[in-house]
Amino acid sequence: MRKLDVLSQFETSPPRQRLVFLGASNLTRSFPTVVATALQVLDGPLSIFAAMGHGRSYGQDSRCLGKKFSGISQCGIWQSLDEKNPPPTTAWITDIGNDLAYDVPVETVLRWIRTCVDRLLAIDARVVLGDLPLPSLRRTSEVKYRFLRTLFFPSCRLAFDDLLRRAEQLSGGLQELAELQKVPIFSVKNEWYGFDPIHPRPAHYATIWRALFAQSLALSSRAVGNKKSWALYWYLRGLRPQSYSWWGIDRRAIQPHGRLQDATDIALY
């Protein structure tokens, strides 16, 4: 694993690739693995942009564990991506489905996702859509659903049958969008989930992200290790997004907020 240093000035090479990640809790949980995997399988330096957060919505303000974020389609990542002569860009749109638990109509969610896809295609990005984990959701019992709904989305009052029906409609809309825009859509395997039907088990994070990268990128042939870098993990966990509120107090951070020693920049929104 490459050493990291937020103040490093030893490398000045321009980024060879720009990676854009949009998502919510799954992306937030796995982000250290995302970055570590990218560093292993892609030639750097990289320019990494991520809009994420637990419970993050794609089109409205959301709050979780005291943090409040704007919707992904309204956040500052879009202005930052609008730069002249950018390096080749690849984007992953993940964690699509939180808004169903906020009782947002399926068509509204699809409109927000289409907005993100259109903006990314307008900057010549290769786009990968993440599908909903329907097989995992379908094997969820009513009792488990009520427990997890209370834990993750306490304000949600949707019955399980209604949520599952909307999830199936949303998945169908994503399939149509992927076909219309000619972008790949990625489905996580059912066996990668455990008790929790919407969050894959951490042991599978690296496998999932290698598959996601392989779907749209030419990967390095060098050997990929599985050893976790705790230094990188805690460094990334300490980075702050451009704008959010914490228990009602507005906070801001200049982006990119992180830099690795090979000049890979990391900007969070």
The model's pLDDT over 170-206, given as tens digits with 9 standing for 90+, comes to 999 999 999 999 999 999 899 999 999 999 999 999 9
Say if 231 falls within a structural domain.
yes
Q: In the structure, what pLDDT confidence band is assigned to residue 227 with cuts at 50, 70 and 90? A: low
Mean pLDDT of 28-57: 96
Q: Indicate if the pLDDT at residue 164 is higher than 70.
A: yes
As for how many domains the chain has, the answer is: 1
Q: In the structure, what pLDDT confidence band is assigned to residue 31 with cuts at 50, 70 and 90? A: very high
Q: What is the pLDDT of residue 65?
A: 83
- Least Cα distance to 260 among 4, 1, 2 occurs for 4
Say if 157 falls within a structural domain.
yes
Say if 47 falls within a structural domain.
yes
Q: Which residue has the higher pLDDT, 242 or 64?
A: 242
Cα separation, 35 vs 257, whole angstroms: 14
> DSSP class of residue 242?
S
Say if 32 falls within a structural domain.
yes
Cα separation, 110 vs 207, whole angstroms: 28
Say if 5 falls within a structural domain.
no
Q: Cβ–Cβ contacts within 10 Å for residue 171, how many?
A: 20
Q: In the structure, what pLDDT confidence band is assigned to residue 216 with cuts at 50, 70 and 90? A: confident
Say if 9 falls within a structural domain.
no
Q: Cβ–Cβ contacts within 10 Å for residue 11, how many?
A: 13
Q: What is the pLDDT of residue 228?
A: 75
pTM, full prediction: 0.92
Say if 189 falls within a structural domain.
yes
In terms of residue numbers, what domain contains 242? 17-268
**Whole-number percent of the chain with pLDDT over 90:** 82
Q: Indicate if the pLDDT at residue 60 is higher than 80.
A: yes
Q: What is the pLDDT of residue 5?
A: 44
Cα separation, 67 vs 54, whole angstroms: 9
Q: What is the pLDDT of residue 15?
A: 86
Q: What share of the chain is helix, strand, coil (3-state, %, to 5)?
A: 40, 20, 40
Say if 156 falls within a structural domain.
yes
Q: What is the mean pLDDT of the chain?
A: 92
Mean pLDDT of 147-176: 95
Tell me the CATH number at 68: 3.40.50.1110
The model's pLDDT over 98-150, given as tens digits with 9 standing for 90+, comes to 999 999 999 999 999 999 999 999 999 999 999 999 999 999 999 999 999 99
Q: What is the pLDDT of residue 226?
A: 62
Q: Indicate if the pLDDT at residue 7 is higher than 60.
A: no
